[in-house]
């Protein structure tokens, strides 16, 4: 039976404890890692959340999976509380559900995304592209 994207989104969100911007900030202060999956164009245009780690959506699962040769040690810990951030809070829900399938039981997302963070008046800074390796 075919499902539409709204079905996938509802299924993903049913498994998440989504956080509003102030809850996400509080969780970050207590050690949670904010993972920004937005594009570099969005980061350049709108800025980023201080302390958030940028992991492009198209490589997220490879960077998160601790068994992958291309994992990022800043996020590749199955016990880590990961809060995914996208522009509006849609792709981050689907991505967080994927991470839960990989074993990240504390993966969730920011309800309303970066846009909600900005509207809440929370800190935003200019984004500078870091030097990276060219692995997956």
Confidence of residue 127 (pLDDT cuts 50, 70, 90): confident
Sheet holding 82-85, edge to edge: 53-54, 33-36, 82-85, 108-109
pLDDT at 132: 59
1 assigned to some structural domain: no
78 assigned to some structural domain: yes
H/E stretch holding 26 reads helix 21-29
3 assigned to some structural domain: no
**β-pairing verdict for 82-85 and 53-54:** unpaired
pLDDT at 68: 96
4 assigned to some structural domain: no
Catalytic residues: 86
What's the number of domains the chain is made of? 1
Per-residue pLDDT of 18-45, as tens digits, reads 999 999 999 999 999 999 999 999 999 9
Per-residue pLDDT of 58-88, as tens digits, reads 999 999 999 999 999 999 999 999 999 999 9
25: domain CATH number? 3.40.250.10
Backbone angles phi, psi at 19, to 5 degrees: -115, 140
136 assigned to some structural domain: no
Strand partners, 36: 54, 85
93 assigned to some structural domain: yes
Per-residue pLDDT of 85-118, as tens digits, reads 999 999 999 999 999 999 999 999 999 999 999 9
């Amino acid at each position: 039976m075919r499902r539409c994207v709204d079905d996938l989104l509802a299924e993903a969100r049913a498994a998440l404890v989504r956080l509003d911007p102030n809850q996400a900030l509080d969780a970050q202060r207590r050690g949670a890692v904010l993972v920004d999956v937005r594009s570099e164009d969005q980061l350049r245009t709108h800025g980023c959340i201080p302390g958030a780690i940028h992991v492009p959506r198209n490589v997220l699962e490879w960077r998160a999976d601790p068994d992958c040769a291309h994992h990022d040690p800043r996020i590749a810990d199955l016990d880590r509380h990961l809060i995914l951030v996208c522009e509006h809070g849609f792709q981050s829900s689907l991505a967080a559900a994927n991470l839960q399938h990989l074993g990240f039981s504390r993966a969730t997302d920011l309800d309303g995304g970066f846009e909600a963070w900005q509207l809440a008046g929370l800190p935003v800074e200019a984004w500078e592209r870091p030097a990276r390796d060219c692995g997956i």
